[in-house]
Structure 1
Amino acid sequence: MRLRDAAELVRLPAALTVPGDTLAGAAASGWPNGRRTWALPVASTLLYWAGMALNDYADRTIDAVERPERPIPSGRVSPGGALALATGLTAAGVGAATWGGGRRALTVALPLAATIWCYDLAGRRGPVGPALMAGARGLDVLMGAGGRSTAAVPALAMAVHTAGVTALSRGEVNGAAPADAGLALSATLTGAALACVPAPGGRSATAPAFAALFASTVGAAQTEALRSPDAATVRSATGAGIRGMIPLQAALLARSGHVGAAAALLCAGPIARAASKVVSPT
């Protein structure tokens, strides 16, 4: 498997939208894992890549018709190779989570991995698909907090936004119903509102600014999809929703009083946008 083909298989640029999950969870819980916290964003990224490879494995027959340029139907990656990569990345992700967060992180990493596999192999195209993906993203945030309830608001914000993006993404090939675009827009606004809910102690007043950046950039693309829900517009809105995870995570970090970390995280946004022109994030 060539590196370029593997990068396309796992949708490499989209991984930049993942590390902020565990950072937001850890920040909301007072950084309980200390210096080892850095391993949790690595774990999130590995599990995300596993899910993307597994997604293409599960959808290989459908992609042969709808997206024949994808790595598996085009013959550049074998189904067995994609499955093996997904399995290895899952194991590595769970291992990294255990090293970084100990037993508490492991108790979240295992159901997170199970949710990812369930979504890709059984629930992706069913009615519970968006809920499963939302659950995975919420668990990812909680993994950074070791399952502590102090990260409940960040986990809910990421889960709600993810549900909207996932529902809308189903129209990337044939277009979406206006209701799907409306749902995605409502979910985005809800996520932004949750990021503005004061954290215990009310340590930062900058979260609303980050939340406004998130809502305005993602909301504009979703509003366009609401007006014209054709496949191309929906793909654009889906990409904006995925990249929008970053400013939402920044808002959640700011909510916990970590404005510097929030500002630094925003730097991943332009990188993700530039990389998306080389390798598709969807």
Structure 2
Amino acid sequence: MGVGPVPAGVPHPAPVASASAGAATPPDLRLRDLAELVRAPAAFTVPGDVLAGAAAAGRRPDLSTAALAVSSVCLYWAGMALNDWADRDLDAVERPERPIPSGRVPAPVALGTAVALTAVSLGLAAAAEGRRAMTVAVPLAATVWGYDLWAKSRPAGPAVMAATRGLDVLLGARAGRTRSALPTAATVAGHTLAVTALSRAEVTGAQPWLPRTTLAATGAVAAATALHTGPARRGTGRLDRLGVAAGLLAYGATAGRAQAHAVTDPSPGTVRKAVGAGILGLIPLQAALTAGAGAVRSALPLAAAFPLARALSRRVSPT
């Protein structure tokens, strides 16, 4: 989906032959190459959007919620494949090791993957909840494609990416309860805005003010989550509050600590690690938001998925 931050890069240079050389003679595709294309481990950050939105709307997880979560994952993968297709010439210069410029995945295959996964995503959303889901799923898909094909390299890019995550949260809300999920959607969108802004410095490195700003934003997101899901919130019990605290501690230790390192060392490698940590940090943030809405049982699968996502990210980069 492009529902996770990816670097915007710089305006595309003239096409480089090596970027599409693999398209003429398709190589033997490997599952690992396709997993790298769609940033498979980062998909663990996606179902939590739907679960957090459902919890905020007072909705218990059911089969339709599960179908919406799978729909969201498919759209995320579509956005990642589309991102690499759109950036194939730029990646041939800046990141020749990526699947398309390296010749491991032909460009037409990447585009076809994006189209197919988008169609599957919309089909699952329609099957799950019909017209209600489509009123969010269609704008969400359009925003993902708009980001990859137009907004990514423009000033509006981070805001558009943030909008995809906010819409993803609203996808999980019950019909007629979308308004109650808006604070949760805004919190997830705020985190995404900060990490996407930082991702623009993955290749070149950042000026110290940028990771300093994103670190402050991460602190603001954590504070907003604590306030929104605090003891005064109706319906939250002790176990729910413990879930919020655990989620926020993991969020700070993951996203916050990596961004603090980038403040002291804003080199490309450190910034890239901070972006990857920011992407994975969505999982404990979603768990905190879900627990704070009184759905600690829904937060438990997210807590369990977090270490698995971190382990897989060491094999396939989430950025």
Indicate the larger mover: 115-124 or 185-194.
185-194
> Is 2:116 the counterpart of 1:88?
yes
- Residue 287 of structure 2 aligns with which residue? 250
Q: Distance in 2 between matches of 1:263 and 1:224?
A: 29
Provide runs of 4+ in structure 1 moved above 6 Å.
none
Percentage identity across paired residues of the two chains: 55
8 Å CA contact retained: 2:65, 2:172: yes
Structure 1 position 195, deviation (Å): 1.8
Indicate the larger mover: 222-231 or 212-221.
212-221
Deviation string, structure 1 residues 125-169 (Cα, Å, up to 9, x no partner): 111110010000000000011561111111011100001111111
2:168 to 133, 137, 140: 140
- How many equivalent residue pairs? 282
Structure 2, unmatched stretches of 5+, are 1-28
- Residue 158 of structure 2 aligns with which residue? 130
User: Superposed, which structure 2 residues align to 1:1-282 within 5 Å?
Assistant: 1-31=29-59, 34-146=62-174, 148-196=178-226, 197-198=228-229, 201-203=234-236, 204-206=240-242, 207-282=244-319
Indicate the larger mover: 255-264 or 16-25.
255-264
Q: Secondary structure of 1:242's partner?
A: helix
Indicate the larger mover: 75-84 or 176-185.
176-185
Q: Which amino acid aligns with 2:234?
A: G
Q: Which amino acid aligns with 2:168?
A: D
Normalising by structure 1, we get a TM-score of: 0.95
Structure 1 position 102, deviation (Å): 2.5
Structure 1 position 240, deviation (Å): 0.6
8 Å CA contact retained: 2:169, 2:184: yes
Q: Distance in 1 between matches of 2:313 and 2:109?
A: 24
Q: Secondary structure of 2:315's partner?
A: coil
Q: Secondary structure of 1:20's partner?
A: helix
Q: Secondary structure of 2:241's partner?
A: coil
- CA-based RMSD: 1.6
8 Å CA contact retained: 1:157, 1:190: no
Q: Distance in 2 between matches of 1:213 and 1:278?
A: 21
Structure 1, unmatched stretches of 5+, are none
Indicate the larger mover: 68-77 or 31-40.
31-40
Q: In the superposition, relative to structure 1, how do residues 269 and 72 fare at CA in structure 2: closer, same or farther (>3 Å)?
A: same
Q: Distance in 2 between matches of 1:193 and 1:104?
A: 32
8 Å CA contact retained: 1:20, 1:265: yes
Q: Distance in 1 between matches of 2:165 and 2:48?
A: 11
- State the structure with more CA Rg: 2
Structure 1 position 182, deviation (Å): 1.9
- Residue 6 of structure 2 aligns with which residue? none
